[in-house]
Amino acid sequence: MRKLATTTLLALSLTFAGCTQVENTLSTWAISAERSLANLQLKQVVVGDFTTPYLEGGQGETVFLIHGFQSNKDIWIRFARQLTKHYHVIAIDLPAHGDSNILMDKNYSIPEQAKRVIAIMDKLNLTQPVHVMGHSMGGAIAFHVAVMAPNHVKSLALMSSAGVISPQPSELSKLNQQGKNPLIVRNEDDYKKMLAFTMSDPPYIPSPVIAKLTREAIAREAIATKIYQEINLKYSLNPEEALPKIKVPTFVLWGDEDKLLNVSCTEVFKRFIPQAQVVIFKGVGHAPQIERTKESAQAYETFLATVKS
């Protein structure tokens, strides 16, 4: 059935490519189908000035997923599908990301977003410590949550995480020094380049979904530029002081071909969080949960099995 649905969507994609309304409809259908397969339901919560949509499903201990810059809750769908069989999964849209409302007058530094995540956890009545995983910018937010509200975190997982300076400069940092930023999308060509820069081995994504994501990324140029400026490390906790405060079981997952955040970051996290378990995938870029979905989920579940109840 899934193969038939995918084939049908591909045929429709080729037939109606370029028609915005049809592309949006097909994209919405495709994402809804993926959510259903992952046993995830769309919900939302209002915290402060932000309406935060989130995906929730499964039963068991809670795994709380935080996406990265220019991303949203749906980046976790296929990864979460592997987890909802044994865990209660929540994947949020960070404020000013995904389908959350955008407020240009707010501050989106890592500590401020961490405070909002803590408020979201409280609003969702997560009274027991949860397993927190963050990807990229979301990783930095996740370890800030672990430091700022340790009673909320049972274990910490950092996937291609921002928040530290890598011993070996990344390609992104080199481009930034030249005044270039491949993560800011201004046109269709920028989006294609951004995908190629981000992932070494991307999966098939239906063209209507790509078209819709491209339009959304272009529309986000102003807020994306603002957020990128405000997630600067100078506005965050000093990792040399903050990371050693993390005492919970910690898992670090990376791709050895990550162009955004060099894999040598793992050395920094291991140095300051000695209990951290580190897994590095070969031939993988910045998004292991998309490029190696099953392997990433299996590695994470193996880690979770070591965390005492």
- Fold of the 38-185+220-304 domain: Rossmann fold (3.40.50)
What would the pLDDT profile of 47-91 be if each residue is shown by its tens digit?
A: 999 999 999 999 999 999 999 999 999 999 999 999 999 999 999
Q: Which sequence spans correspond to the domains of the chain? A: 38-185+220-304
Active site residue 67: yes
What would the pLDDT profile of 9-45 be if each residue is shown by its tens digit?
A: 444 344 444 577 777 788 788 899 999 999 999 999 9
Active site residue 135: no
pLDDT at 219: 95
Average pLDDT over residues 179-191: 94
Per-residue DSSP letters for 104-129? TTS---HHHHHHHHHHHHHHTT--S-
CA distance 169 to 176: 11
Percent residues over pLDDT 90 in the chain: 84
pLDDT at 277: 98
What would the pLDDT profile of 146-175 be if each residue is shown by its tens digit?
A: 999 999 999 999 999 999 999 999 999 999
Q: What is the mean pLDDT of the chain?
A: 92
Under 8 Å between Cβ of 175 and 267? no
The pTM for the full model equals 0.92
Checking if the pLDDT of 121 tops 90, the result is yes
* Closest to 164 measured CA to CA, from 73, 251, 261: 261
pLDDT at 25: 84
Residues 6+ apart with CB under 8 A from 140: 110, 134, 161, 162, 163, 231, 236
Catalytic residue among 109, 136, 160, 296: 136
Type of residue at 198: T
Under 8 Å between Cβ of 222 and 104? yes
pLDDT at 12: 38
Checking if the pLDDT of 95 tops 90, the result is yes
Three-state DSSP class for residue 66: strand
CA distance 230 to 245: 24
20-24, 123-127, 249-253: which range is least confident on average?
20-24
Question: What is the chain's alpha carbon radius of gyration, rounded to the nearest angstrom?
Answer: 18
pLDDT at 16: 44
Catalytic residue among 67, 135, 144, 286: 67
